């Protein structure tokens, strides 16, 4: 789950785009997220010692991945302090220097070492009697740091903010109540922001007569994409609903959002070779393919339990915001630019986020709250409802894959993977069409993520094309790694079947990365793969087992075995059990890493069997979880997680298993039913006789 990533190359593209925009007379240039690498000296501001007490300012956003708990543990271990001696607070834009967005499972891999070194520097300074003044962080070798000694499996650690959560303290933006605070909402047409829409009529007189009415705010700053917005403010949430009902806003929507299904085969008929090539080997033109399958993955929502929320307060020419965002500094940058404020006039406080998964990276509700607060000269809370989340947020883009392979000697000799998707890093939630078309010349690394084959195949042809859709698409947990891994491991499994080789042995024979082989063997051992038939029958159900593996961002590794049951008459699929072996390097907080892996496995169940969004003439049709179902507790199987830790540098756990877990389910369905699922989700599959 990552925010729009700006590399040096894409920054140059953005600057070129700026020149083009100026030449074309375009006035709206999106704010570019800044993504500085964490530096050792920066970390000295994250840990302080004042009046005999330590304070850890967590430089990452806490959104349920429990990074604050892991960093608290690192700090306490390195300082030699008990948990209660180190207070944990979340960062804001003034307490510490700029840090990059909390995305991409980077927090431990990139921030843990600077934090540990800063804490060790502070510990040694205090031992020398230096309790005040600025310290110069020391590049203490990894082997000398206490925080990275392998923890005992029996060790536990108190959950940061755990007591506050269970006692109802205001840790989420949606919990916050400021003195004199009002409640706001921005009304728009019930349509995709990609469609131009405008207000036709509104009964302002009736709205003003509602008890609790505060204001109607009409400002061009409330436009999202091409959708005009009208703000309303009331004294209470109930009054806000009443004001909206009384206003009776009527809208005109121009155009339709009918979504032409992405079709890789149609794309190849139009263009023989993908525009964006990741592997360019020349393949045999006169030989039949041994495996030739198509995999289609649908549009899907993030489905965070907490709809996005922000509280803004305009007071004494200063804007303060409390946000549930993955990048508080980006929010500050956007507010400064859009409201024409200076850096000193804007302070953004990061709150705990009730689920994000890459979806809370851009500035939406935050700008709405700021505009309404500045208009009123006070404090306003804006929280989207579920319908707004689905209609106005961005989603995982659909993708269509064609995968072909030729086998030789029981191994893959030639591999072709062409696919078509929509934008992820260069999301249309931020970029206008003209700028997104410009970025299409360099592709989209988010779409490409996970498309690299993790096996030794001598000749490969891998590439993709991009299509801008009439609904918003962007980062979703693991970016392209989930859909790409699902497609790749489905095809590899079909190759193993064609070769007549056990799927585990087939993979191991073509893996040179020792850590990938290690997790494959660990998952197989945990599931008793060699001792258990891959297909069986219990009563009215066929039982099947599948295996899959993958590499996330070239540094974390996972393998999953799934066991499913397919009802012989109805075809209903249920996942009975999953085993995952997971290697993200040195494990700092085992309990929380295991929880992250389990979360990935639950997401995989949803990806394989449940989750999809339909698009109608006006955009996303779903308005609630009834229309966009998510995995329920009854769907969650027993999960066994093996953490493989051989002392490698910590690399990141948050999204690793997403590269293979859904594919393991698909492969298990193939084993149980004899049917290769090629269109997901697959809640039912009629077994072959």
The more confident residue out of 27 and 334 is 334
DSSP 319-364: EEEEE--S-HHHHHHHHHHHHT--GGGEEEEE-B-S--TT-S-S-S
Q: Which CATH class is domain 173-255+308-383?
A: alpha beta
**Residue 19 binned pLDDT confidence (cut-offs 50, 70, 90):** very low
Paired tokens of 630: 């998510």
* Residue 7 scores a pLDDT above 60: no
Contact yes or no for 465/268 (Cβ under 8 A)? no
* Residue 258 scores a pLDDT above 50: yes
Contact yes or no for 650/660 (Cβ under 8 A)? no
* Section 519-525 average pLDDT: 98
pLDDT confidence of residue 584? 93
pLDDT confidence of residue 35? 85
* Residue 324 scores a pLDDT above 60: yes
* Residue 25 scores a pLDDT above 60: no
**617-638 confidence digits (pLDDT tens):** 889 999 999 999 999 999 999 9
**161-187 confidence digits (pLDDT tens):** 999 999 999 999 999 999 999 999 999
Domain ranges of the chain: 41-166, 173-255+308-383, 264-300+395-673
Mapped onto helix, strand or coil, the DSSP state of residue 419 is strand
pLDDT confidence of residue 9? 39
* Section 54-67 average pLDDT: 94
Q: What is the C-alpha to C-alpha distance for residues 385 and 241, in angstroms, rounded to an integer?
A: 11
Q: How far is CA 267 from CA 259, 262, 285, 466, 677, in A?
A: 15, 8, 19, 10, 22
Q: What is the helix (H) or strand (E) element at residue 208, kind and residue range?
A: helix 204-208
Strand pairing partners for 679? 296
pLDDT confidence of residue 28? 66
Percent of the chain at pLDDT exceeding 90: 80
- Residue 12 neighbours by CB distance under 10 Å: 11
Q: What is the pairing mode between strands 346-350 and 411-421? A: unpaired
Q: How far is CA 545 from CA 116, 189, 195, 617, 670, in A?
A: 42, 47, 45, 41, 8
* Residue 5 scores a pLDDT above 60: no
pLDDT confidence of residue 437? 83
Contacts of 315 by beta carbon, 8 Å cutoff, 6+ apart: 377, 378, 379
Domains 41-166 and 264-300+395-673 share a fold: yes
Percent of the chain at pLDDT exceeding 70: 95
* Residue 23 scores a pLDDT above 50: no
Q: What is the C-alpha to C-alpha distance for residues 516 and 505, in angstroms, rounded to an integer?
A: 13
What are the counts of helices (DSSP H) followed by strands (DSSP E) for the chain?
17, 24
**Residue 6 binned pLDDT confidence (cut-offs 50, 70, 90):** very low
Paired tokens of 575: 């996942």
pTM over 0.85: yes
Contact yes or no for 659/450 (Cβ under 8 A)? yes
pLDDT confidence of residue 148? 86
Q: What is the C-alpha to C-alpha distance for residues 14 and 396, in angstroms, rounded to an integer?
A: 23
User: For the ranges 26-40, 205-219, 428-442, 577-591, which has the lowest average pLDDT?
Assistant: 26-40
User: For the ranges 204-208, 513-517, 680-684, which has the lowest average pLDDT?
Assistant: 680-684
Q: Which residue has the tokens 């197989």?
A: 524
* Section 316-333 average pLDDT: 97
pLDDT confidence of residue 11? 38
**Residue 78 binned pLDDT confidence (cut-offs 50, 70, 90):** very high
Contacts of 572 by beta carbon, 8 Å cutoff, 6+ apart: 566, 683, 684
pLDDT confidence of residue 648? 87
**Residue 514 binned pLDDT confidence (cut-offs 50, 70, 90):** very high
Cis-peptide, bond into residue 565, ω within 30° of zero: no
Average pLDDT in the chain: 91
Contact yes or no for 448/403 (Cβ under 8 A)? no
* Section 328-351 average pLDDT: 96
Among 552, 551, 549, 547, CA closest to 563: 547
**Residue 1 binned pLDDT confidence (cut-offs 50, 70, 90):** very low
The sign of the CA dihedral 233, 234, 237, 240 is negative
pLDDT confidence of residue 689? 62
Q: Tell which CATH architecture fits domain 41-166.
A: 2-Layer Sandwich (3.30)
Q: Does CATH number 3.40.50.1260 belong to domain 264-300+395-673? A: no
Contact yes or no for 487/419 (Cβ under 8 A)? yes
pLDDT confidence of residue 685? 87
């Amino acid at each position: 789950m990552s925010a729009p990533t700006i590399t040096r190359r894409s920054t140059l593209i953005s600057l070129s785009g700026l020149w083009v925009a100026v030449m074309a007379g375009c006035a709206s240039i999106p704010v570019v997220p800044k993504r500085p690498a964490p530096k050792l000296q920066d970390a000295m501001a994250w840990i302080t010692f004042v009046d005999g007490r330590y304070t850890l300012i967590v430089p990452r956003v806490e959104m349920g991945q429990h990074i604050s708990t892991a960093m608290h543990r690192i700090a306490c271990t390195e300082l030699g302090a008990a948990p209660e001696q180190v207070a944990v607070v979340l960062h804001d834009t003034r307490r510490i220097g700029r840090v990059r967005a909390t995305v991409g499972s980077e927090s431990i891999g990139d921030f843990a070492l600077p934090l540990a070194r800063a804490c060790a520097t502070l510990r040694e300074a205090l031992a020398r009697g230096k309790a005040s003044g600025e310290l110069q962080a020391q590049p203490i070798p990894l082997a000398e740091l206490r925080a990275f000694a392998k923890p005992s499996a029996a060790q536990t650690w108190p959950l940061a903010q755990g007591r506050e959560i269970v006692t109802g303290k205001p840790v989420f933006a949606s919990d916050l109540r400021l003195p004199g605070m009002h409640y706001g909402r921005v009304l728009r047409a019930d349509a995709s922001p990609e469609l131009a829409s405008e207000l036709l009529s509104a009964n302002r007189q009736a709205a003003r007569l509602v008890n609790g009415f505060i204001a109607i705010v009409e400002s061009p700053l409330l436009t999202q994409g091409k959708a005009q917005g009208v703000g309303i403010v009331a004294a209470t949430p109930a009054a806000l609903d009443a004001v909206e009902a009384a206003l009776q806003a009527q809208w005109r929507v121009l155009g339709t959002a009918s979504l032409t299904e992405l079709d890789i085969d149609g794309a190849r008929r139009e263009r023989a070779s993908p525009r964006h090539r990741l592997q360019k080997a020349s393949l045999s033109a006169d030989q039949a393919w041994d495996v030739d399958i198509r995999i289609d993955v649908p549009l899907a929502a993030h489905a965070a339990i907490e709809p996005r929320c922000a509280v803004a307060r305009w007071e004494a020419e200063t804007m303060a915001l409390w946000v549930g965002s993955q990048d508080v500094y980006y929010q500050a940058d956007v507010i400064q630019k859009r409201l024409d404020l200076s850096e000193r006039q804007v302070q953004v406080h990061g709150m705990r986020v009730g689920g994000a998964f890459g979806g809370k990276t851009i500035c939406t509700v935050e700008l709405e709250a700021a505009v309404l607060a500045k208009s009123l000269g006070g404090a306003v809370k804006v929280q989207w409802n579920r319908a707004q989340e689905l209609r106005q947020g961005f989603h995982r883009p659909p993708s269509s894959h064609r995968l072909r392979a030729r086998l030789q000697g029981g191994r893959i000799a030639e591999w072709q993977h062409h696919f078509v998707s929509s934008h992820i890093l260069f999301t249309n939630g931020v970029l206008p069409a003209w700028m997104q078309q410009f970025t299409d010349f360099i592709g989209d690394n988010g779409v490409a993520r996970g498309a690299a084959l993790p096996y030794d195949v001598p000749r490969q042809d891998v590439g993709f094309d991009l299509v801008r859709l009439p609904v918003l698409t962007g980062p979703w947990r693991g970016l392209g790694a989930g859909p790409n891994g699902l497609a790749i491991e489905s095809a590899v499994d079909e190759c193993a079947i064609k070769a007549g080789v056990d799927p585990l042995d087939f993979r191991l024979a073509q893996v040179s990365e020792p850590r990938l082989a290690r997790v494959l063997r660990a998952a197989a051992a945990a599931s008793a793969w060699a001792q258990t038939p891959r297909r069986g029958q219990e009563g009215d159900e066929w039982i099947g087992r599948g295996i899959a593996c993958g590499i996330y961002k070239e540094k974390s590794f996972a393998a999953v075995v799934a066991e499913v049951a397919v009802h012989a008459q109805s075809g209903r699929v249920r996942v009975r059990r999953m085993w995952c072996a997971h290697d993200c390097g040195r494990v700092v907080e085992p309990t929380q890493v295991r929880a992250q892996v389990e979360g990935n496995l639950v997401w995989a169940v949803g990806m394989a069997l449940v989750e999809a969004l339909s698009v109608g003439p006006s955009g996303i049709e779903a308005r609630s979880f009834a229309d966009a179902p998510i995995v329920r507790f009854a769907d969650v199987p027993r999960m066994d997680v093996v953490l493989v830790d051989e002392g490698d540098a910590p690399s990141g756990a948050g999204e690793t298993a997403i590269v293979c877990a859904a594919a393991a389910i698909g492969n298990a369905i193939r084993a149980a039913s004899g049917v290769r699922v090629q269109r997901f989700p697959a809640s039912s599959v009629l077994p072959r006789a």
